[in-house]
Amino acid sequence: MRCIKCPVKASVELRRHNSSFCSPHYLEFVRNQLARNVKRLRMFAPEDRILVAISGGKDSLALWDLLLEAGYSAVGLHIQLGIGEYSVRSAEVSQDFAQSRGAELIEFSLDQELGMGVPLLSRVLRRPPCSGCGLNKRYLFNKIALERGFTVVATGHNLDDEAATLMGNVLRWQREQLARQSPSLESNHPQMVRKVKPLYTLTERETASYCLIRGIDYVVEECPNAKGAHSLLYKDILNRIETESPGTKQQFFQGFLARMRPALQREQTVDLLACEECGQPTTGEVCSYCRMKDRVQNYIAVNAPNGASRRDT
């Protein structure tokens, strides 16, 4: 199999594009995808200050690498979630990448901010770990970006993530979530920063190939809390369909963006208020982050008033 751009043997095959590329032309393909997505959805401009959310996984590190290479001002943000070895390794990999590129990495620890990491938080809230984890990440991305003068937050969500989220939202007909699901979310409140997902047209396999060719070390293991998660089931189902019918995943998500989302968006008339406690946007009086923080502080006051044993076990 040869590269479609030159006579060299291909190293990456993309069935859904009916193409195969040698390594240099594959990197060019990925860079073009990023440039096209950024331009088409007006994600950011060269003068924007981008805060890139870095998990230590292949997608966010590929994104950071691409943005730095393209000359954008892109600072990383890693949130240490306190999920045992997984979090230790994620932080190390993120730090090593930042050091290798001479790039700035902001590090933030949930344990320091909240008094506990994801495992204990899940027990205190009596909710699955991913629920408290997601709430904290969304809130902190926005808050840190605002406080430090970033104009946009970029995450590494890929096509598999977006198609699986869409499947979950459709299976439960979650209209509000569907209306908000977009690779480029404009700010609709003075305290809300724009959010973008510049790699939304690339699959997991494609960002992994990018990292492999670029020699980027990333955390291969999934978060231990993802085991049994619905999103993994949806990804698996979509992959099985994709094997039989290449391009389905892309059609599913792109079709939603082109044909369904505009109609759902027109229906949306939620007015955002400022949270009475922290000033961040919310639909009620107090935002869900502050309500969660109150519960955590109550728990600490009762169970570890001296802060002696607040750490997760």
For residues 158-177, which are near ligand AMP according to CB under 6 A? 161
Tell me which of 29, 41, 51, 78 binds ligand AMP, using CB under 6 A.
78
Check: CB of residue 172 under 8 Å from CB of residue 69: no
Considering only 22, 34, 54, 118, the residue that binds ligand AMP (CB under 6 A) is: 54
Q: Which stretch binds ligand AMP (CB under 6 A): 33-41, 67-75, 155-163, 272-280?
A: 155-163
How many amino acids of this chain bind ligand FES (CB under 6 A)? Answer: 8
Q: Which residues of 81-165 form beta strands (DSSP E)?
A: 105-109, 152-154
Task: In whole angstroms, give the CA distance from residue 6 to residue 132.
Answer: 49
Can you say whether the dihedral through the CA atoms of 157, 29, 51, 38 is positive or negative?
negative
Residue 231 binds to ligand FES (criterion: CB under 6 A): no
Among 37, 136, 142, 155, binds ligand AMP (CB under 6 A): 155
Residue 111, interface with ligand AMP (CB under 6 A)?
no
Are 94 and 78 a contacting pair, CB within 8 Å?
yes
According to DSSP, the β-strands at 152-154 and 49-53 are parallel
| Separate counts of helices (H) and strands (E) for the chain | 13, 10
Label residue 56 exposed, middle or buried (CB < 10 Å: 0-12, 13-18, 19+): buried
> What is the greatest pairwise CA distance in the chain?
69
Determine if 278 is a binding residue for Zn ion (CB under 5 A): yes
Q: How many residues bind ligand AMP (CB under 6 A)?
A: 14
- By a kind-dependent CB cut-off of 5 to 8 A, residue 156 interacts, out of Zn ion, ligand AMP, ligand FES, none, with ligand AMP
Binding mask 7-36 for Zn ion (x = CB under 5 A): -x-------------x--x-----------
Footprint (CB under 6 A) of ligand FES, residues 129-148: 129-130, 133
Closest approach, Cβ 80 to ligand FES, in A, equals 11
Contact present, 76 and 104 (Cβ < 8 Å):
yes
Of 77, 120, 219, 223, which one interacts with ligand FES (CB under 6 A)? 223
Residue 77 near which of ligand FES, Zn ion, ligand AMP, none (CB within 5-8 Å, type-dependent) = ligand AMP
Cα gap 299→295, rounded to integer Å: 6
Which residue's CB is nearer to Zn ion, number 79 or number 93?
A: 79
140 binds, among ligand AMP, ligand FES, Zn ion, none (CB under 5 to 8 A by kind): none
CB distance 211 to 58 below 8 Å: yes
Nearer to ligand AMP, 115 or 156 (CB): 156
Rounded-to-integer distance, Cα 54 and Cα 71, Å: 18
Q: Which of residues 103-132 bind ligand FES (CB under 6 A)?
A: 118, 129-130
- Closest contact distance (angstroms) between CB of 78 and ligand AMP is 5
Q: Other CB atoms closer than 10 Å to residue 215's CB: what's the count?
A: 7
Q: Minimum distance between the CB of residue 125 and ligand FES, rounded to whole angstroms?
A: 12
Q: Which tokens is 230 given?
A: 């619905």
CA-based angle 32:247:64, to the nearest 5?
35
Helix (H) or strand (E) holding 194: strand 194-196
Interface residues with ligand FES (CB under 6 A) are: 81, 118, 129-130, 133, 223, 225-226
